[in-house]
Chain A
Amino acid sequence: MTKADLVEIVYEKIGGLSKKESQDIVEAIFETMKGSLKQGQKIKISGFGNFTLRDKRPRKGRNPQTGDDIQITARRVLTFRPSQILKTHINDVKTL
């Protein structure tokens, strides 16, 4: 499934929207989420999951190719925690 498939689904299921409008709103959903994460704000989508940000301290690492010691810099990473509803849903093949 790609963004284009989601556009198609929105276009077919929501009446009164043009293809272009459907495309704009799907685009806006992910752009708005990205904007929030960029500002350091986590996202909670009930029934789906949480997108959280974690600050990692710098740590020592090694270049696996050369064996050289390297310093891995401090960074902020994004993680996704699926909600219980999503976890249950994807294991519930009866409703497929």
Chain B
Amino acid sequence: MGMTKSDLVEKLSESLTNLTKKECEVIVDTVFHNMKDALQRGEKIEIRGFGSFTVRVRRAKEGRNPKTGEKVSIPEKRIPVFKVGKELREMVNG
């Protein structure tokens, strides 16, 4: 169950008959690669009808090593966050 990137490529090459499977694969990789780079630059990605991706910053904090009880400092970290679009949210809840 579920769809992998290669299933996605397979489906695309079936519906887009002007493109080979290899070409579809290169395009899919290009799309996700560039989305990844946009997030790395801290850019928001908005795909209408699908959803949006933003980068949130987790502040640096003090933590503890649960094994030794020693204090450790956890540095600031950026995390990608996805918010589902209205259309897709309603679609999956269909």
Contact = CB atoms under 8 A, between A and B. Distances in A.
Whether chains A and B associate is yes
Interface of A: 1-3, 6, 9-10, 13-14, 21, 24-26, 28-30, 32-34, 36-38, 40-49, 51, 53, 75-80, 82, 86-87, 89-93, 95-96
B48 A32 contact: no
Nearest to B38: A1
B79 A10 contact: no
Contact count band on B: 35 or more
Contacts of A78: 51, 84, 88-89, 92
Contacts of A45: 4-5, 8, 32
Contacts of B18: 21
- The listed residue with most B CB atoms (<10 A of its CB), out of A6, A41, A93, is A6
B49 interface: yes
B32 to A, nearest CB: 5
Contact of A25 (B4, B16, B44, B88): B16
